[in-house]
Structure 1
Amino acid sequence: MPHIGQAGAVNIEYSHFPIGELWEPGFERRDDRPDFQTSEAVVVAPGRIVVRSRVQEHTAPVVLALSGSKARRRGPGAGWELLASVAYHPVYTGRMAAFDTTNGPARSASEAVRVFGQQVAPGEPAIDLDPSHTYDVQVWAQGRSDSRERFEDAAPGADTEDASDLEAYLIVFTPSGTQKPPSQSAPESRRDRLARNHGKPPLNAR
């Protein structure tokens, strides 16, 4: 049985939202800008997985899970469809969380989400990966097949931003191999930082 995080709700803007690791002091900051010049529904960048919605702006339930083996062919339950399978390598400490497109960490969902035969309670949509492992990631979705059509058919002026029945997502991480864990850089002295920024240390530090 997978280890399942709590059910969150992401505020989606510009038709996408990220699942990712927050940069932490001491680690080399990675360029996590995804390549949107692709038609893929799921895009991987260092430290994040970006899911592209079929709807421009709305709120979607999301659950993160850690499994010892890939979900069986029948998936996590009725109504869930496999959107994509991608590879992910942790780049910081492995703490994965769902984020709004522009507003930081996702909030708690308003109600439970049913996956793998159980009701997942609302709360923080996050899990802890082992940074010494690499992962296969399955992105499952509900409601995508006609979410855009239902969005466009909504009455003019309807508040679809808070609608939670257009799409839902489940992100399942499965260990696939090992890697050298990302390590923190040695602390940088003020003298070294000034030398790096200005080409040489100030006179009073030489």
Structure 2
Amino acid sequence: MPKISLVGAVHIEHGYFPVGELWEPGFERREHQTDLDARESVMAVPGQIVVISRIQEHVAPVVLAVIDSEDEAPGPTWTLVASVDYRPVYRGRMAVLDTMNGSSGPAAHGLEMFGQRADPGTPFVDLAPAQVYRAQVWSQGRADSRERFDNATRREEGAARDGFEVYLIAFVPSGTQAPPLPAAGEGRRDLLVSKHGKLPLNMR
């Protein structure tokens, strides 16, 4: 049975958006640089999957799912964009992120996939840190989104900037790995700072 998140609305800028693993206290932060000139539709970097949109700036509904098989299609209206391998680097909590402003907010409407309906909300799914995943990026409307966007802009200055693309990122378990672990000796300090805003006097 697929595990499906709520449906978020991602604010896409500069033609891309990430689905990122949320950093956890105690873990070394993973740096990631994305080559946006690589002409790939979907890229994986440590801690993120980056999806390249066909439109520079707009708002798109996005939903996340964990499914059992790569052969499992979400429905007849969805088209597979690309698949990439993803290895969790923290504890596996994945979120849809605006290009520039952190986690996305809720979408205006729900979506249907895998025979289920997902309601609007903030999209998260939990991956197993000891698993390796094949991340499939599916879309609705992407094939002609740029053309429809350009036509709408020509007809009306300041035309609506949503409703052109919809995305589903489905994670399929494909193998195992040693689960990422917090750095020794750092976890307690980070937890205290996050909880109290500063270290106790005896730990400064």
Query: When the two structures are superposed, what TM-score results if normalisation uses the length of structure 1?
Result: 0.86
User: 1:16-165, aligned counterparts within 5 Å?
Assistant: 16-72=16-72, 75-154=73-152, 155-161=155-161, 163=162, 165=163
Distance 1:131 1:55 in 2: 33
Shift of 1:24: 2.2
- Gaps in structure 2 of 5+ consecutive residues: 187-204
Shift of 1:123: 1.1
Read off the aligned partner of 1:60 and give its amino acid letter: A
8 A contact 1:57–1:160 mirrored in 2:
no
Shift of 1:10: 0.3
Shift of 1:27: 0.8
- Post-superposition CA distance 1:74-122 (Å, at most 9, x none): x211221000011000001100010000011010111111111222111
Shift of 1:43: 0.9
- Post-superposition CA distance 1:46-88 (Å, at most 9, x none): 000000000011110111000111243xx21122100001100
State the match for 1:9 in structure 2. 9
Shift of 1:158: 2.6
SS of residue matched to 1:124: coil
SS of residue matched to 2:74: coil
Shift of 1:42: 0.3
Read off the aligned partner of 1:47 and give its amino acid letter: G
Distance 2:59 2:71 in 1: 25
Read off the aligned partner of 1:20 and give its amino acid letter: G
SS of residue matched to 1:145: helix
Q: Work out whether 1:168 is the aligned partner of 2:166.
A: yes
Identity of matched residues, %: 53
Distance 1:166 1:182 in 2: 38
Moved over 6 A (4+): none
RMSD between superposed Cα atoms in Å: 1.2
Read off the aligned partner of 1:85 and give its amino acid letter: S
Rg bigger for which structure? 1
8 A contact 1:96–1:129 mirrored in 2:
yes
Read off the aligned partner of 1:142 and give its amino acid letter: Q
Query: When the two structures are superposed, what TM-score results if normalisation uses the length of structure 2?
Result: 0.87
Q: How many residue pairs end up in the alignment?
A: 184
SS of residue matched to 2:149: helix
Distance 1:33 1:22 in 2: 16
- Gaps in structure 1 of 5+ consecutive residues: 189-206
State the match for 1:201 in structure 2. none
Read off the aligned partner of 1:147 and give its amino acid letter: S
